[in-house]
């Protein structure tokens, strides 16, 4: 194990930074609003899954699986409410993302941009794939899953995650 990998797998920092309640509510709403409004005019941005990135960032920052589970579930359920699918599809997927992201954050140094990029890419792919599995398994819809497109979109979302996480880190307060 090299020094760099040891650095990546280092123990989490014992910082006490956390979000204000107002940001915990406002940021996901803005992300969802972005998702439902902006692609109307800039269709290219429809690939962005900002609610997922917010969930991942919160889970990586809080490192509390239970809080991340409920946070991911809440964001997912709001997304479900704005879709025509049964409520709970996005909720389940984002619940799992929140849980796993919080679990992973205890093992990795999530402040490292490379780790952030990889985790964002992985969780995007996991999110899309698991949603597709649920769609087929629970609703019986024969939707197609384009692996190549999902991989590319995962890279793009991971690239967006890097500056987004930096901005969100600025919203945290110490205390």
Partner 1 sequence: MDFFLSRYRNLTVLLIVIVAQLLLIAYQVKTSNNVPLMRVWAVTAVTPVETALELVRRYTWGFVVDYFVLLNVRGENEKLKSENGQIKMENHYLKAELGTADRARALSVFQAQSPSKSVAARVIGNGTGANSKVVFIDRGSTTGVESGMAVVTPDGIVGKVVDAYPTASLVMLITDPTFAAGVISQKNHVRGTLKGQGHSDTLVDYVQNEETVDGGEWFYTSGDDRIFPKGFPVGQVSAARNGKNFKEIYLNPSGLQSGSVEEVLVLLNGVHQQIPDGEIASPGYKILQPPSDSVPGAPQPTGQATALSTDADRLREQYKQVGTEQKHVFGEGIPGSKPPDFTKMQGIRGASPLPSLTPAAPPKANAPANGDAGATGKKAGSSEATAANSGSSGASADAAPPKPKPRPTAPILLTDPTDADPGSDVVPAPAPKTEKPAGSAKPATTPSTTAPSPAAPSPAAPKPPVARNQ
Work out whether 123 is an interface residue with partner 1 (CB under 8 A). Answer: no
Work out whether 62 is an interface residue with partner 1 (CB under 8 A). Answer: no
> What's the closest the beta carbon of residue 169 comes to partner 1, in angstroms?
24
Choosing from 2, 16, 144, 174, the residue that interacts with partner 1 (CB under 8 A) is: 144
Quote the CA–CA distance of 65 and 128 in Å, as a whole number.
21
> What's the closest the beta carbon of residue 12 comes to partner 1, in angstroms?
15
116: nearest Cα among 72, 150, 160, 161: 161
Indicate the helix (H) or strand (E) that contains 9.
Answer: none
> What's the closest the beta carbon of residue 164 comes to partner 1, in angstroms?
18
- Range in contact with partner 1 (rule: CB under 8 A) among 1-9, 11-19, 137-145, 163-171: 137-145
Residues 6+ apart with CB under 8 A from 5: none
- How much is the CA Rg of the chain, to the nearest whole Å? 16
The H-assigned helical ranges of the chain are: 3-8, 21-37, 50-62, 65-81, 89-105, 113-139, 147-171
Work out whether 86 is an interface residue with partner 1 (CB under 8 A). Answer: yes
Choosing from 2, 11, 40, 175, the residue that interacts with partner 1 (CB under 8 A) is: 40
Work out whether 143 is an interface residue with partner 1 (CB under 8 A). Answer: yes
Q: Closer to partner 1 by CB, 87 or 167: give it.
A: 87
Site size toward partner 1, by CB under 8 A: 45
CA distances from 87 to 62, 80, 91 (A): 26, 5, 7
- Given the structure tokens 């879709």, which residue do they identify? 83
Q: Closer to partner 1 by CB, 1 or 137: give it.
A: 137
Length of the chain: 175
Q: Which residues here bind partner 1, judged by CB under 8 A? A: 29, 32-33, 35-37, 39-41, 43, 46, 49, 51, 65-66, 69-70, 73, 77-92, 95-96, 99, 103, 128, 131, 138-139, 141, 143-144
């Amino acid at each position: 194990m090299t020094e760099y990998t040891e650095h990546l797998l280092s123990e989490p920092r014992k910082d006490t930074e956390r979000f204000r309640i107002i940001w915990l509510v406002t940021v996901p709403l803005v992300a969802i609003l972005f998702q439902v409004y902006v692609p109307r005019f800039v269709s290219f941005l429809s690939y962005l899954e900002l609610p997922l990135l917010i969930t991942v960032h919160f889970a990586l920052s809080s490192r509390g699986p239970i809080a991340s589970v409920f946070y991911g579930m809440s964001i997912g359920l709001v997304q479900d409410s704005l879709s025509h699918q049964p409520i709970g599809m996005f909720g389940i997927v984002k619940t799992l993302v929140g849980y796993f992201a919080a679990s992973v954050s205890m093992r990795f140094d999530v402040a490292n941009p490379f780790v952030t990029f990889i985790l964002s890419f992985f969780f995007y792919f996991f999110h899309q794939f698991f949603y597709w599995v649920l769609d087929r398994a629970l609703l019986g819809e024969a939707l197609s899953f384009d692996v190549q497109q999902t991989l590319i979109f995962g890279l793009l979302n991971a690239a967006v995650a890097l500056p987004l996480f930096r901005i969100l880190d600025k919203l945290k307060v110490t205390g």
